[in-house]
Structure 1
């Protein structure tokens, strides 16, 4: 049996189906509806197949999830006027008395803006002033962010979301960058990677299931990609490796570089942390970090490509591990994203720090 090739047609069929109607086993992810849409739309965009969707219709659908203040003074009420992740988080249950219901969330807002950028919507048309002014109130004294106005855990995931939101809106009034930078630097571990919070174990990945619903379980979550991408978006990391290695005012770049390169294992794939199996999505999370700091050329690209191609499903899409059976939309999107970083023929270039195709910027 020869080595597998890139099954582009199968992937197009997979993402086209996902963009049309999600399978029933995604029902439990209804609260993440907007982000599931981001994965489906993002996959089609990387495959250069956006003509399969109605861009104006998608833009209207995404915009319908934004929460707007009823009056101007509501912006100072403490609520966050971003985007909700689904209809169930947008509207209160009929049997729940909640006069201040507002389910907007930093991660859902990131997904919404990313989708709007992908379909070419002009973000100057949205109410960014209310969004950014209310988002700034989510930033904590230590520089971290809460994802929602009613309180939740604070960690690097939401610092990244805030930075990505400000970057896409081209307006940094929504956060204090210096405070955010200080928080990020405090999260770098002794081994060079980043934990979710200061003092925690280094991890490169960030499972979006965990990100969206604000959960951080042992196998998911993480900090390194969020830390590095946020620092780059905020202007604190350069685009070439030599400049980064000589910058003593930022993170310990040499330790970070070594930690990331050590994540590529014998099968060519990348692990998210020490003593873990390689996984499709980490080809993006680790590869993305190395791309941002100007060191992507140091990986074994051929071995990584071979690993990723063994994770392709015969149904289209990608599985978590090689020959693992049924694909899921999360690993499928990041499998394509990782191959885009490897400049796979037939895929659009990726803006790695924002997770969307470069042409959308």
Structure 2
């Protein structure tokens, strides 16, 4: 999810052959063609991201929804494919074995092993599960038909004593990204049995830094993506109110004025948003940081013209957005570029639910 190094699905250092060709308007038709191409056949540069195929599909499908192009998606085919990626326990006893029964990131983790010892161990992942549910909601699938009991009951075993979450049962890093995934999963399934919200809240607040932002882990540097994960999670859990900008003091033990100060300082002289102090502006932080300001009710303080101008320089002549001006487009930065333009109320784009990262219509089911 949100990292400064982003594991950008295309090399951001590889420049667009003609960076001076940047358009000064949002080229919706070209973006639609780009996403449809990505949905049908990924370029070879994405081979190293095979395990994240479900995440890439989320960027493409939800991106088409924002652009008003969901009619280009084979919804039945997408639903069948996504559902086929869920891991299922064979019985009630297996559900208690500590494994997570969410969604795999791709078909490759379900292949038979070459030594005839059976399937590769369950590798379902919190981020893949978030993306799976987001896709299903986007294409109009009723999530009441999903095996939510297995997801939620097994997800509790991923929560650590400090309130954080591992993304996978066999052990991995724990940070705010996976607390957010857990909160978003519970919210979309409309069932909070998958996590201890009070413990999650404690962990989030322990990531609150002296300067007002949030680090990915307690004591780490404030980061735009981590701050989004913190604020969006608290909002989904019902622990912060609407429009905190109009209030003073603290909310849920957060110093709101200090948080606003840190967040607003992330917009640079070039109009773009940076993820951390002394870092260059980056397309994705227009959403990660801009989204925090929207949740807080302070998005009117964004220099919207400056942000548009910066994003135009990251818009590719091939459709999509790159990480920085002149970079080739990739699905990750393209999707969050579309989200940013939705936040800027670009005509013709669907409005998005900031906390869940999908359109409002997908959330409401119409």
Same fold (TM over 0.5): yes
Instruction: Give the corresponding residue for 2:110.
Output: 90
Contact 2:105 2:124 in 1 (8 A): yes
Residues 244, 152 of structure 1: alpha-carbon distance in 2 compared, 3 angstrom cutoff: farther
Q: CA deviation at 1:237?
A: 1.3
Matched, 1:351 2:353: yes
Is the 2:240–2:251 contact (alpha carbons within 8 Å) kept by the matching residues of 1? no
Contact 1:237 1:293 in 2 (8 A): no
- TM-score, normalised to structure 2, is 0.91
Aligned position for 2:156: 136
Rounded Cα–Cα distance in structure 2 between residues aligned with 1:177 and 1:184: 10
Higher relative contact order (CA 8 A, sep 6+): 2
Partner of 2:101: 81
Is 1:116 aligned to residue 136 of structure 2? yes
Q: Is the 8 A contact 1:317 1:327 kept in 2?
A: yes
- Cα deviation, residue 54, structure 1: 1.2
Give the structure 1 partner of residue 241 of structure 2: 238
Q: Give 1:74 deviation, angstroms.
A: 1.4
Structure 1 residues 120, 132: CA separation in 2 closer, same or farther (over 3 Å shift)?
same
Partner Cα separation in structure 2 for residue 224 and residue 98 of structure 1: 42
- Equivalent position to 2:257, from 235, 254, 257: 254
Mapped partners of 2:166, 2:244: distance in 1: 32
Task: State the 1:200 CA deviation.
Answer: 0.5
Q: Distance in 1 between matches of 2:110 and 2:28?
A: 36
The CA distance in 1 between the partners of 2:173 and 2:116, in whole Å, is 24
CA deviation profile, 1:51-87 (whole Å, cap 9, x unmatched): 0111111111100000011112211111111000011
Which stretches in structure 1 are left out of the alignment for 5+ residues? 206-222
8 Å CA contact 2:242, 2:295 repeated in 1: yes
1:213 aligned residue = none
* Distance across 1 between alignment mates of 2:302 and 2:231: 18
Task: Count residues in correspondence.
Answer: 343
Match runs of 1:221-300 below 5 Å: 223-242=226-245, 245-300=248-303
Question: Does the residue aligned with 1:137 lie in a helix, a strand or coil?
Answer: helix
Q: Alpha carbon RMSD of aligned pairs, Å?
A: 1.6
* Counterparts of 1:3 and 1:18, CA distance in 2: 21
- Which residue matches 2:214? 194
Question: Structure 1 245/93 Cα, relative in aligned 2: closer, same or farther at 3 Å?
Answer: farther
CA distance in 2, matches of 1:3, 1:76: 55
Q: What is the Cα deviation at residue 322 of structure 1? A: 1.5
TM-score of the pair, normalised by structure 1: 0.92
Which residue is equivalent to 2:196? Answer: 176
- How many Å separate the matches in 2 of 1:139 and 1:69? 19
